[in-house]
Amino acid sequence: MSKFVRAAQTSQSLSLAAMEEASRLGLREADIEHMFLAMVINDQSAGRALRSLGIDLDSARRAVEKQHEMQLASLGIDASFPEAGRIVFHETDGYEWSKRASDLIAKSGGKGKAGDAAAVLRELVAEPSGLIADILDHLGTTPDALLEHLEQFASPGGAAMPAAAKVKGRTSVSIETFACAPMEAVWELLADPARIPEWEPGIGVIDHASRDATPGTVWQGFAPTSYPDGKPVKVRPKFHRRSIELIAAHQPGSIAWSFGYPDAARSNPILTEFALVTTTGGTQLQIRKSWSRRHGWRGLIALLLRPIQKLFVWIALFQTGSAISRTFR
């Protein structure tokens, strides 16, 4: 993976997680403390380094809250921040980075720097305000100790799972994500057909979702009629109905679902596969979408459009991974 792609994907994942954390407090601007919280649940080496030090999302949130309270007290202000609620980022808009946070991300991808989460974390702990150092102190560690520990997870992007095998005649795109929950809990989410709308953005309702989930069973789903923010979704009639088939289920390590468009004659079903492994602080997931390649002149057109197609599939994967992560936060 190129440095540019790695930096772009890192920025995207950190931005989403940080702004989700800010949204719990009713904020529209994500700052460096929210970036730190996003680091704790990051799937790359930076997140694994933090979690291996015993820093989980709950303890990190408490440390940030305590530091904010101490800052107010130092100003002679006897007050507390509003109690955090649920994540509402996906239901609202108008979010942005603070200037120092956006500058920090840009700096992490500068000359001689990898632009991955580890590079962002190095810039974060060196940030001159000392805020992150104070938060780390509440968590029982120091910037130097964290950076030394980070070197043990040094590979760029630090994949914790083996790459999925390529299948002849199929095109695939995959990502990794982290969920701060036990593997069994993540499995239960992914194996329950009634909960598919929680992580598959293209499905809003499923018929007969209470039926037993056994391989070969097929359900019928329908596209959502509105976005989480209430705005209506425009869907072409032939893409309104979905077929959903459970292809394989090996508890608790892997599961695969096939999603098709029965009213779109020339569409190919998309196979969505999940591989789960237990890791420090939760579960590491590999999510892969794959589909059969076309042949003949349609195959030539598909080949020319493949980079664009892969981009859209990556966006869908990113949305799925983010939804899974959000479920357990």
Tokens of 222: 């329908």
> Please, how many CA atoms are within 13 Å of residue 205, restricted to the half-sphere of its CB?
7
Domain 3-153 bears CATH identifier 1.10.1780.10: yes
Question: What per-residue confidence (pLDDT) applies to 159?
Answer: 45
Four-point Cα dihedral 243, 246, 248, 252, nearest 10: 130
* Bridge partner residues of 257 (DSSP): 246, 272
For residues 173, 179, 184, 188, the Cα torsion angle rounded to the nearest 10 degrees is: -70
Where would I find the H helices in 192-295? 196-199
User: Can you tell me whether residue 280 is helix, strand or coil?
Assistant: coil
Interatomic CA distance for residues 206 and 241, integer angstroms: 10
CA distance 234 to 223: 10
Q: Residue 164: pLDDT above 70?
A: no
Question: For the ranges 35-39, 67-71, 156-160, which has the lowest average pLDDT?
Answer: 156-160
Q: Long-range contact list for 14-20, CB < 8 A, 24+ apart?
A: 14/38, 14/39, 14/42, 14/105, 14/117, 14/120, 15/97, 16/89, 16/322, 17/41, 17/42, 17/322, 17/325, 18/97, 18/101, 19/89, 19/95, 20/87, 20/89, 20/90, 20/326, 20/329
Question: If one looks up domain 170-327 in CATH, what number appears?
Answer: 3.30.530.20
Per DSSP, what are the bridge partners of residue 175?
287
Q: How confident is the model at residue 158 (pLDDT cuts 50, 70, 90)?
A: very low
pTM for this structure?
Answer: 0.88
User: Rg of the Cα trace of the chain?
Assistant: 21
| Distance (Å, whole) CA 134 – CA 157 | 27
Of the candidate ranges 186-190, 232-236, 306-310, the one whose mean pLDDT is the lowest:
306-310
- 3-class secondary-structure state, position 206: strand
Burial (Cβ within 10 Å: 0-12, 13-18, ≥19) of residue 47: buried
Domain assignments of the chain as residue spans, ordered by start: 3-153, 170-327
pLDDT attached to residue 292:
86
Band of the pLDDT at 227, cuts 50, 70, 90? confident
Report the amino acid identity of residue 305: L
Res 123 pLDDT > 70: yes
Residue matched to tokens 């923010």: 229
Average pLDDT, the chain: 89
Distance CA 162, CA 154 (A): 17
Whether the predicted pLDDT of 157 surpasses 80: no
SS3 content of the chain, % helix, strand, coil (to 5): 45, 20, 35
Q: What is the pLDDT of residues 246-255, one digit of tens each?
A: 999 999 999 9
Cα distances from 207 to residues 59, 163, 211, 220, 269, in angstroms, run 40, 35, 9, 6, 19
